[in-house]
Structures are given as structure tokens and as C-alpha cells.
Amino acid sequence: MENKVWYYRDKANLSVNQLSRKTGITPSEITKIENDQTNDVMLSNAIRLSNSLNVDIYELFCISKR
């Protein structure tokens, strides 16, 4: 799944560990999401990432609004 998690995490000047603490998602899971090593991101995790990075979920996960 294409996403911009790394881009927005970097823009917010957060480390993987800092984002992990903000979201409750393990650092290894965040790394997998950032590196497109998973095709199944849980909706709850996507929402946590979106909220923590202050980015629209559609923008964060490259989903077009139709």
C-alpha cells in the first residue's frame, strides 16, 4: 500500500520511536508501514497515524476521494 507516512513523520521531525509513543503502534509496525512491507494496515492504526501527524487519512495513504 503506497503511503506518505515517512514523509509526514520526517516533516514533523519525529523519530519512529516518538511516533510510536504518540500512536501506541510498535516501532517495527510503523517501519513496515513506511517501507510498504505490509498490505494490510489496520484502520485503527491508519486513523492513529493520521491524527498524530495531523494529516488527512486520504492524503496519508494516497487514497483518492471520488
What's the rounded Cα separation, in Å, for the pair 40 and 47? 14
3-state secondary structure the chain: CCCCHHHHHHHCCCCHHHHHHHHCCCHHHHHHHHCCCCCCCCHHHHHHHHHHHCCCHHHHCCCCCC
Which domain range does residue 43 map to?
5-60
> Within 10 A of 48 (CB to CB), how many other CB atoms are there?
16
If one counts the domains in the chain, the total is 1
For residue 1, is pLDDT > 70?
no
Whether 55 is covered by a domain: the verdict is yes
For residue 32, is pLDDT > 80?
yes
pTM of the model: 0.90
CATH of the domain at 14: 1.10.260.40
Query: What pLDDT shows up at residue 38?
Result: 87
The model's confidence at residue 40, banded by pLDDT at 50, 70 and 90, is: confident
Whether 66 is covered by a domain: the verdict is no
Whether 47 is covered by a domain: the verdict is yes
